[in-house]
């Protein structure tokens, strides 16, 4: 398994991101769906990663630097998705660990995320909990929403 930075110009990455968006949109009402499309991931504040086994795409994920309004560096996990054939193999955990380490190396001291509250998202909740994330209130531009679960984790210094 190899974790590579980038890949947003690869058709296989586009397809997996479309699968991610379609699932998020199928499970959440439009006003509660906050998944980013390719253009939303191609902004300077986002660091995007893809996970490969030879030429097979296993997963994608990113973190985004949030506006620094509280004196600390805050980031948000975005677009985490593991291909269905790769689930249960530790791919998502390896990618999440990589995102945490990369964010910490770039001065992020807190990582947060928003995900759905429906049963479809329960495996994601378990993954984030295993990696030290705890439920919290809305952050950034989010508002309290029964269709969302907000989680956060302190990273400490680099």
Contact 93, 122 (CB under 8 A): no
| pLDDT (mean) for 94-107 | 96
Confidence of residue 26 (pLDDT cuts 50, 70, 90): confident
What is the Rg, in whole angstroms, of the alpha carbon atoms belonging to the chain?
A: 15
The pLDDT of residue 71: 59
Question: Is the confidence at residue 112, as pLDDT, over 60?
Answer: yes
Structural element, H or E, at residue 112: strand 110-116
DSSP 72-111: S-EEEEEEEEE-GGGTTTTHHHHHHHHHHHHHHHTT--EE
> What is the pLDDT, as a whole number, of residue 47?
97
Per-residue confidence band for 68, with pLDDT thresholds at 50, 70 and 90: confident
Res. 29: pLDDT tops 80: no
Across the range 79-99, mean pLDDT stands at 95
The predicted pLDDT at position 70 comes to 58
CB atoms within 10 A of CB 98: 16
Q: pLDDT-derived band of residue 34, with 50, 70 and 90 as boundaries?
A: confident
The residue-averaged pLDDT of 46-72 equals 90
CA distance linking residue 13 with residue 3, whole number of Å: 13
What percent of the chain is predicted at pLDDT more than 70?
Answer: 96
C-alpha distances out from residue 87 to 4, 7, 94, 124, Å: 19, 20, 12, 11
pLDDT at residue 50 tops 70: yes
Edge-to-edge order in the sheet of strand 74-82 = 2-5, 46-53, 56-65, 74-82, 110-116, 148-154, 134-136
For the chain, give the longest Cα–Cα distance: 42
Over 80: is that where the pLDDT of 129 sits? yes
Residue 126 burial (CB count, 10 A): 10
């Amino acid at each position: 398994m190899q974790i590579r930075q980038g890949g947003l110009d690869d058709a296989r990455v586009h397809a997996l991101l479309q699968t991610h968006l379609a699932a998020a949109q199928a499970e959440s009402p439009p006003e509660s769906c906050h998944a980013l499309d390719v253009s939303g991931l191609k902004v300077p504040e986002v660091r995007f990663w893809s996970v490969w086994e030879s030429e097979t795409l296993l997963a994608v994920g990113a973190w985004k630097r949030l506006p620094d309004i509280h004196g600390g560096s805050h980031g948000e996990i975005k677009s985490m998705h593991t291909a269905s054939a790769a689930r249960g193999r530790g791919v998502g955990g390896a990618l999440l660990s990589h995102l945490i380490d990369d964010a910490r190396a770039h001065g992020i001291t807190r990582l947060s995320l928003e995900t759905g509250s429906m049963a479809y998202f329960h495996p994601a909740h378990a993954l984030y909990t295993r990696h030290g994330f705890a439920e919290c209130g809305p952050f950034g531009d989010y508002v309290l929403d029964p269709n969302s679960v907000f989680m956060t984790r302190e990273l400490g210094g680099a």
